[in-house]
Structure 1
């Protein structure tokens, strides 16, 4: 280790002199650090855009493509609108149904023949036995056991409360009962969660699944189980029964709420034009937002005079000055980027290319949607709202297929083509974005599946390798600079020692 002597003899500020001499030597290292910073900034910007691409593909497009979004149906009830409610799925058949409800489905149940008296949910089983409201015969050792048909019994400690008993019964999927205790009379009611006729009638729905001493003479004294009953109704004049008050008919989920009392409920199923239009408008909004974000980066101004600041430069500037400088330095780093411009170009091409539907060529202009003028830079515009509505009402299947149709092409290149005539627009865009994500992953090491803008970059990528190479060069340059700085200090130290000897000799002669 070299002992550094500051200018005691010479009176020179050696540290400042070495610093100035090293500033020239540091130029190559500063350039390497600037290159590294620029690549890191570029990679961060890629990751931000990558997150938006993943979100558009995995969240937005997948949601828009759901049948209940782009293929929405609606069920409208006229007549007796209180006896029946209905919800149409995307597979519902357009048409009408007339429903008359004679009686609702009921569930099997059993209740106490006599209550045990006033109770609280905080009362323990042990305290109820001590007070004589329950008999100790319900215990097996220190536990209460409730048998559940075809499943593991429910066991409770005698220290457990009535609240625990109710919770264990009601939360048991296998027990399949709703338990209720009237706190004033201590009357227990068990009701099956499944409505309809019980076993022994049509062998479809089982009776109450629970049994045990706590329900017997020493406990809550449950009486005989009352069978459930099927709902009795007619659909378009055809008499029928259902074990549940909620069932599906022709793609429509129907819930029976009350007897019709002579007035039928008429369910009309039709295409939900408003919902489909809302889905298309939402898609266009998200598409335009993504296109705009990509275009802004591709056309962002590049300020080449604003290079990344060195540590010394930052030390000489205020925080606001550093912020403004770096905003300029970061601008335009992805200008005219080939990967991003390829994504935009393919997305725009996919949106203007027709889709073959049942032998007919259908495109967005068929629905009153255009790409606007040149200033829109590929954004989609609903030029004629009424034309879109008319297209949906005239042939909703064609509109749905334009967006969601899937190609049967097996060739990966043709299948993923932006102009594949058999692929709907959503699938084309999904393929384009995935291709772009794969290219970004290869180039920048971004994730193809995560929207997290803080996620770790993949180790193997072009930019990752560039950074590793630069880091090695930085290490070598830093080692070289340390050696040069040490040499300078050695030289100044030798000079100081020589001057010190000269001064000592001069003192002797004087």
Structure 2
């Protein structure tokens, strides 16, 4: 695109008359304006061009106003989208089914609940806590682990260790301390290893809890760890005499693996069942001649022939006592991996961790003992959700009302670059505040959307059942019935109520909402299900229900329609809210809806840069602006052509006058010489 300001020419030398006398050829802007005629032709052309640019300036100002209208629509669109995101959660039953959980003994158990948990009091007894497997040296390690090397233990050679299926390689020069550190840093082993400086013992612990936690190694690893850290293998466990067979069906767990046993099974049958899971448990079963069964802490891979040994104790859970296994000693019981066991309302169950789940209730187990855990409605959470919704609604409607009631100031048109050059930045911003006012004043689309939102807030849910609140029978079928009512523009917010998000007063509060929190809280406490239905009931989902549409469901649908209407009118801009200026350059707050981006009006601007075309913007205003862009480009080209014509005409005039002047001088010289000779 051509810059009009760049179209003024320079002074080109040269040219000749018919008589062969050199002369100057005039070009506009050369600084020799009117050299022949004595007329300031530059000023004349500039004045004529500026006069021709007046319609273009007016068109650009109209375009800026239309663009501001588009931005205000987009601002409302973005605010409605934020409101719809809030309303989306208000359609969900889970928002109104939040639970609070209290414990009579928090040192034993605490809890939290999902929406699936039933309200009530649960009697909880923690029988035992979940724990991981722990292995400790059978005697203190006397070697200096920081200087003793792998080679010192392994005949001068390095070694490859296999722990819980993970391979770790060490050179002969690696210290024993580095072996422990490497086991810990390789999190895939699920084992931490360290030396206790107080006792001299080396300790290996699993990072996970539960009966399935174990420390399993191959034979080479076992031999090395035994020699280096005095780690021994746990003892085998022998059952009672099972010659008579099991009396009843039962289940046992070995290292977290559940094994089902049937009535009548003998030691041989049980051994076969146990050995079927040896690769998982790391335990093999051996039948003895006396009818007993021994569980050994090792198993051999039938494919490779490799033997894997347990360093950790065999974890066996035999709740019925069918196998008659011996009890662990007090010390061993603190080292064997085991599930947590707890009883809730008479039902005993287990968990691999100390965070147990039971029918939507999460129990955090801290110690053995008993406590009552009470699950109730989380009134605070529901009140906060509803308050947040009302605040977002008020902020959105407040923005729309401000734009709708704002007066249009026709005395302030978008600034031209020439005007702005004579103003300070603060004056420019204040001017634009006035110029942008009333872009959507009394706008019918805006008014229609506000009417729809206000009507939704007065919706009455048909078919709602009655509730008893504070001893009175009421029907919670409107927002007003739970304490959410419109603000009275004359008297303002009612005594005892709050108006979240409201910063205006008087008639600008029309349709905005206030909350009587005590009334809202009482309604939720009395009948949370009714409050939930008031917001979330959807006849299209609840087939066969005679109830109407809930407030949040209706509002969400209407917001979708409103957002689409605004998008059709002006498109959408997800970044519009961040583009709006809320403070002036001197730090003062800009009132109203904020200051929109603006471009100073310059008819000489490069329109190819100024007018960015968006092929995806098919909105009504977007197409209008696009049409103005094309019209402005055509006008700028016409003005450029007109300026060029003026330049050519004045150049020709100057050349003609210069030629006449030259010829006159030539004739005068001829007449002068003729007179002299006579």
Say yes or no: TM over 0.5: yes
CA contact 1:156–1:165 (8 Å) conserved in 2: no
Aligned residue among 355, 361, 366 for 1:252: 361
Task: Tell whether 2:564 aligns with 1:438.
Answer: yes
Aligned residue among 194, 209, 213 for 2:209: 194
Q: RMSD between aligned alpha carbons? A: 3.5
Moved more, 102-111 or 61-70: 61-70
Relative distance call for 1:452 and 1:313 in structure 2 (3 A) is closer
Counterpart-to-counterpart distance in 2, 1:76 and 1:107: 28
CA contact 2:164–2:215 (8 Å) conserved in 1: no
1:108 equivalent in structure 2: 133
Aligned residue among 95, 100, 123 for 1:74: 100
Task: Tell whether 2:224 aligns with 1:217.
Answer: yes
1:51 equivalent in structure 2: 78
Aligned residue among 118, 123, 126 for 1:98: 123
Counterpart-to-counterpart distance in 2, 1:451 and 1:166: 54
Counterpart-to-counterpart distance in 2, 1:163 and 1:337: 75
The Cα of 1:216 is off from its aligned counterpart by: 4.8
2:378 equivalent in structure 1: 272
1:323 equivalent in structure 2: 429
Structure number with larger C-alpha Rg: 2
SS at 1:307 equivalent: coil
CA contact 1:7–1:496 (8 Å) conserved in 2: yes
Counterpart-to-counterpart distance in 2, 1:162 and 1:290: 63
Q: After TM superposition, list the pairs within 5 Å mapping 1:161-180 onto structure 2.
A: 165-166=182-183, 168-170=185-187, 172=188, 175=189, 177-180=190-193
Counterpart-to-counterpart distance in 1, 2:83 and 2:154: 63
1:283 equivalent in structure 2: 389
CA contact 1:118–1:186 (8 Å) conserved in 2: no
Aligned residue among 60, 63, 87 for 1:61: 87
Aligned residue among 419, 426, 439 for 1:333: 439
The Cα of 1:309 is off from its aligned counterpart by: 2.0
1:226-252 CA-to-partner distances (Å, cap 9, x unmatched) read: 232232333234444433322222422
1:482 equivalent in structure 2: 640
Relative distance call for 1:492 and 1:191 in structure 2 (3 A) is same
CA contact 1:350–1:429 (8 Å) conserved in 2: yes
Relative distance call for 1:157 and 1:479 in structure 2 (3 A) is farther
Relative distance call for 1:484 and 1:220 in structure 2 (3 A) is farther
Task: Tell whether 2:407 aligns with 1:308.
Answer: no
SS at 1:392 equivalent: helix
SS at 1:180 equivalent: strand
Counterpart-to-counterpart distance in 1, 2:219 and 2:74: 62
Relative distance call for 1:450 and 1:30 in structure 2 (3 A) is closer
Aligned residue among 94, 114, 128 for 1:89: 114
1:417 equivalent in structure 2: none
Counterpart-to-counterpart distance in 2, 1:68 and 1:450: 31
CA contact 1:443–1:463 (8 Å) conserved in 2: yes
TM-score (structure 2 length as normaliser) = 0.62
Relative distance call for 1:437 and 1:178 in structure 2 (3 A) is farther
Counterpart-to-counterpart distance in 2, 1:92 and 1:52: 36
- What runs of 5+ residues in structure 2 fail to find an aligned partner? 1-6, 10-26, 233-310, 316-336, 467-474, 490-506, 581-611, 670-678
Relative distance call for 1:427 and 1:464 in structure 2 (3 A) is same
1:274-303 CA-to-partner distances (Å, cap 9, x unmatched) read: 222222222211211111111111112211
1:23-46 CA-to-partner distances (Å, cap 9, x unmatched) read: 221122112211221222223333
Relative distance call for 1:128 and 1:446 in structure 2 (3 A) is farther
CA contact 1:70–1:280 (8 Å) conserved in 2: no
CA contact 1:137–1:213 (8 Å) conserved in 2: no
1:498 equivalent in structure 2: 656
Relative distance call for 1:96 and 1:324 in structure 2 (3 A) is same
Moved more, 32-41 or 104-113: 104-113
Aligned residue among 363, 371, 383 for 2:486: 371
2:456 equivalent in structure 1: 350
1:374-393 CA-to-partner distances (Å, cap 9, x unmatched) read: 432211112x4332222112
- What runs of 5+ residues in structure 1 fail to find an aligned partner? 198-204, 411-419
CA contact 2:154–2:224 (8 Å) conserved in 1: no
Relative distance call for 1:211 and 1:85 in structure 2 (3 A) is farther
Relative distance call for 1:118 and 1:346 in structure 2 (3 A) is farther
SS at 1:423 equivalent: coil
CA contact 1:76–1:267 (8 Å) conserved in 2: yes
Task: Tell whether 2:195 aligns with 1:182.
Answer: yes
1:383-410 CA-to-partner distances (Å, cap 9, x unmatched) read: x433222211211111122122233179
Counterpart-to-counterpart distance in 2, 1:157 and 1:16: 91
The Cα of 1:466 is off from its aligned counterpart by: 1.7
1:17 equivalent in structure 2: 44
Residue-pair matches, total = 470
Relative distance call for 1:452 and 1:323 in structure 2 (3 A) is closer
